[in-house]
Structure 1
């Protein structure tokens, strides 16, 4: 039998190999909003971060890692397909061993985070569940651990714009120290799985500082960020509307833990939606943890729709 070879692509001329894989799910598991070739056309992937398992001329597994243009290391694994769980796991082991060097750094975690994209109803469909279970099994066999399941959400202009807040006053962010103090109070008692994980080993202010840096580095800039005060002048929350490489998105949203229980997250989200609408944005894509029921309820109430789910492994 021909030897199985695990390797990264040599250069950009090999990108077409990635789409020559012999086995792809038809259930929607792993599906992205665009094809791999379309992402490559926009400069989203580097050959050295795109891995294949090759048996002769046959491509039997593939894995594509992504990171922002100016970063040294990949942040996420976004495409992962294979013919057998064993082959997939072996490909991940080889890729992670090569990419996660002693100097690896990422705001996401100690190694790239695997994003398993799923249909919203994947648990109810035998074909989707089988495809998802295979990828979960391969990831775990390669040493990755389940972190959280998230809802993928989308709002489009045709769904209708919610009314703006009448009980909060909004102002641009002009002082990073004020923002950092507020963010530290927001992550305290947070239900966000990422915040909770970071808080096990770090202070709220350290987590806040990293959040600020990460959102500031996104393509959308910071001119849309807003602080929110109540009618007495108390600073109660903030929202950081921005853009990722594909669309408008809420980079971060939160209410000071001392002011929770008043439904302010709805007002904050509505303000961000009005900012985007004024810019002519046709849609907004976001996500929230399945376990963060209050925030998921806010997205539903304000008019977002669930477009899928995403499981994260690290």
Structure 2
């Protein structure tokens, strides 16, 4: 049986919506393959992405699976953190079917005790090719999923670049103008993160800043990154030659790969290219530990950070549109 108490089937006209129980994932695959455009494509097969019974939903018309959705959460989480798989179907009513499926799933999964770092309900992560707007097939497939999600009540929040760095791309020299020390003093870290949040171009910072102010934004960032599987032993504070604290890089790991959980430069020291130094320091830490790859992302609207990643040698592997 699934980990949660499964609701009764939700029905709309000739459609039925329900979650899958343990041993039923073959029903999910009965829908068919992902779009040839690459919209929604993941870097691992479905069975390796850690989906759980009860968090995977299908829309049935008779015995035919006409739409499907899968929610994800890290190991041990009580609630799903995100929706990261949605196929609304191909029929003329695909937008309505996809939206109805999401409404049924959200109604069942977002219980009174629901709580995750992303907010009041799982946000939708739509994985996209880097050139999705320039290709008619990708644009059409993406537009269907966006329209279904918006009809279900979700709204676009941010688009991100998915980035990858491999050792074979070349490791930049370690920066000499900064000194790095462990970031093990919570009060120092929170104070710095609070200053960084002010004027940040990052959507996460901006939403937290608007929601609770700089201190709350800093505490949320600290808590979220500290909770990642990589812990905090790789976090570093950066000081300039005068001993002034100029920034932080929170190098860590998620459930699958090395990543920079967060980095930022104190507003008083912006404009000197220190972001490049912070990213480079993280890469040196990862390479020394034998990490085979580093995966990161940044908001499309955060152009300075995107430019920094590009200078260091990261390559764009795709985009991710988030609706919440």
Specify if TM > 0.5: yes
Distance (Å, rounded) in 2 between the aligned partners of 1:218 and 1:21 = 33
Deviation at 1:23, TM superposition (A): 6.5
Matching residue of 1:34: 44
Matching residue of 2:304: 294
Matching residue of 1:72: 78
1:8 aligns with 2:25: no
Name which of structure 1's ranges 162-171 and 45-54 shifts more when overlaid on structure 2.
45-54
Name which of structure 1's ranges 225-234 and 19-28 shifts more when overlaid on structure 2.
19-28
CA contact (8 A) 2:74 2:255 kept: no
1:60 aligns with 2:60: no
1:145-164 alignment to 2 at 5 Å? 145-164=155-174
Q: Deviations over 1:48-79 (max 9, x none)?
A: 11111112221111111111222221111111
Matching residue of 2:151: 141
Q: Deviations over 1:94-124 (max 9, x none)?
A: 1111111222111111110100000001111
Distance 1:275 1:30, change over 3 A: same
Matching residue of 1:178: 188
Distance (Å, rounded) in 1 between the aligned partners of 2:34 and 2:15 = 19
Residue correspondences, number: 309
Distance (Å, rounded) in 2 between the aligned partners of 1:89 and 1:248 = 35
Q: Deviations over 1:200-237 (max 9, x none)?
A: 12111111111111111111111100000000001110
SS of the residue 1:122 aligns to? coil
CA contact (8 A) 2:88 2:148 kept: no
1:214 aligns with 2:220: no
Q: Deviations over 1:222-254 (max 9, x none)?
A: 110000000000111000111111111100000
Runs of 4+ in 1 over 3 A off after TM superposition: none
Cα RMSD of the aligned pairs, angstroms, is 1.3
SS of the residue 2:238 aligns to? strand
CA contact (8 A) 1:148 1:312 kept: yes
Matching residue of 2:136: 126
| Structure 2 stretches lacking a partner, 5+ long | 1-12
CA contact (8 A) 1:24 1:82 kept: no
Deviation at 1:173, TM superposition (A): 1.6
What TM-score, normalized by structure 1, do the two folds share? 0.96
Distance (Å, rounded) in 1 between the aligned partners of 2:123 and 2:209 = 18
CA contact (8 A) 1:220 1:244 kept: yes
CA contact (8 A) 1:151 1:306 kept: yes
What TM-score, normalized by structure 2, do the two folds share? 0.93
Matching residue of 2:5: none
1:178-197 alignment to 2 at 5 Å? 178-197=188-207
Distance (Å, rounded) in 2 between the aligned partners of 1:267 and 1:142 = 43
Distance (Å, rounded) in 2 between the aligned partners of 1:24 and 1:58 = 17
